[in-house]
Amino acid sequence: MRRDKGLYFPERITPLPHSFFKNIDTLSNSEIAFEAIKPFVSPDIPEDILKTIIEDTLSFEFPVITLNDSISTLELFHGPTMAFKDVGARFMARCLGYFNKDNTNEVTVLVATSGDTGGAVANGFLGVKGVNVVILYPSGKVSAIQEKQLTSLGQNITALEVDGVFDDCQEMVKRAFLDEALTSKMQLTSANSINVARWMPQLFYFMFAYKQLYKTYKDLVFSVPSGNFGNVCAGMMAQQLGLPIKHFIASNNENNVVTQYLKTEQYTPKPSVQTISNAMDVGNPSNFIRIREIYKNNFEVLKSNLSSFSFSDEATRDALKEIYDTFNYVADPHGAVGYLGCKAYLKQHPSAHCVFLETAHPTKFLEVVEDVIKEKQKLPKQILAVMGKEKVAIKISSYDELKAYLLEK
């Protein structure tokens, strides 16, 4: 984040050669990721180091499950915390570890979470030398398993339980970066998607899905469950690099600022409301400014590349049941919102093949999922590992309390 409260963005985006995408199925995921990210980090990270970072980051699978001729889902929950944030958090942690290897000063990573970011960052940075992680999360507004993942690791990870909503947490983080009383005494960085190192690796997902589908389906559209809009923005970056994606759908819950913007051209942030797809409970999405930059603030060009739909909790529950009953597939509430976005878009564009992102494992939202599908779910080892651990969190209710904690620490 810059001093003017703006976000960093690449000065130029040079498309990859057409042959890269034509032959993408001959490349490994690591080779794809290396070529995609290299223009943005070279020469600051030597190529051999970058290859090692990528291999270590992408140590799990990204399968596409085709439900029917019109809809597939891209599963992004096979990492250590079973959420799509694992890739960005692991990549950033390893980059920071490289840059910090000869630094005697400690770096404090400050991060706000609406659910999955906190656990992924905590896991990604756990034990990284010279790095302390402070995670702010809204009290009572993350799932029980999400809370355990970000409050139970100890070591260099501290959780601050905020009396408020995610937007309050995010505002505190942004304010800290502009507070010279803090920045003059400590080295601060963020692991939210306001940080390019956390956000940009998410463009890999879209390339991995394209690799698996492009020889079968021509008009590929991605439906992205959207909260802070980092994921759909990353997809648009993949498109700018030359990935042949036809269109994007921002699928929102009742936090629908962007859905309304595309209808009215009026961007009006508002307080977030709590939903069963809590990681999307964002009333002022940071990354939407980056999306507007991609399209040079041209509303009509943006609208030709992005659709947005908003869905209620009731509709989300109905979708969870429909996906299970029709396809024998268990989705999480965020994926269900993405599925609804696919259905809404396909009504008007029946020739497209729509891929919704399944951003978290359904057992992270056990109460909602089991209540809807009436079927007991087996817990994966990543979830079982945190179930019995003790929650350790410090309660705060204001920016002054955050500042006092950081200065004392």
Instruction: Give the span between the Cα atoms of 339 and 214, in whole angstroms.
Output: 20
Q: What is the pLDDT along the chain (409 residues), one digit of tens a residue?
A: 444 456 778 888 899 999 999 999 999 999 999 999 999 998 899 999 999 999 999 999 999 999 999 999 999 999 998 999 899 989 988 988 888 777 777 889 999 988 778 888 888 888 888 889 999 999 998 888 889 888 988 889 999 999 999 889 989 998 998 899 999 999 888 876 667 888 899 999 999 999 999 999 989 999 999 988 999 999 999 999 999 999 999 999 999 999 999 999 999 999 989 999 988 999 889 889 899 999 999 999 999 999 999 999 999 999 999 999 999 999 999 999 999 999 999 999 999 999 999 999 999 899 999 999 999 999 999 888 888 888 999 999 999 999 999 998 7
pTM above threshold 0.85: yes
Question: Rounded CA gap, 183 and 403, in Å?
Answer: 11
d(CA 74, CA 55): 20
Query: What is the CA angle 326-143-390, rounded to 5?
Result: 135
* pLDDT at 166 (0 to 100): 87
Burial of 235-272, coded b for 16+ CB within 10 Å and e otherwise, reads bbbbbebbbebbbbbbbbbbbbbbbbbbeeeeeeeeeb
Residue 253 and residue 97: Cα distance in Å, rounded? Answer: 36
pLDDT at 137: 94
pLDDT at residue 4, rounded to an integer: 44
Quick one: pLDDT at residue 130? 83
Q: In 3D, which of 400, 318, 277, 353 has the Cα closest to residue 66? A: 353
Closest CA to 1 of 130, 161, 170, 122: 170
139 contact partners, CB below 8 Å, separation of at least 6 = 161, 162, 163, 164, 395
Alpha-carbon span 147 to 260, nearest angstrom: 31
Evaluate whether 53-81+199-379 and 85-194+388-408 have a shared fold: yes
- What DSSP state is assigned to residue 279? G
pLDDT of residue 139: 94
Q: In terms of CATH architecture, what is 53-81+199-379?
A: 3-Layer(aba) Sandwich (3.40)
One-letter amino acid at 324 equals Y
- Domain ranges (residues) in the chain: 53-81+199-379, 85-194+388-408
End-to-end CA distance of the chain: 23
Peptide bond into 225 cis (omega under 30): no
Fold topology of 85-194+388-408: Rossmann fold (3.40.50)
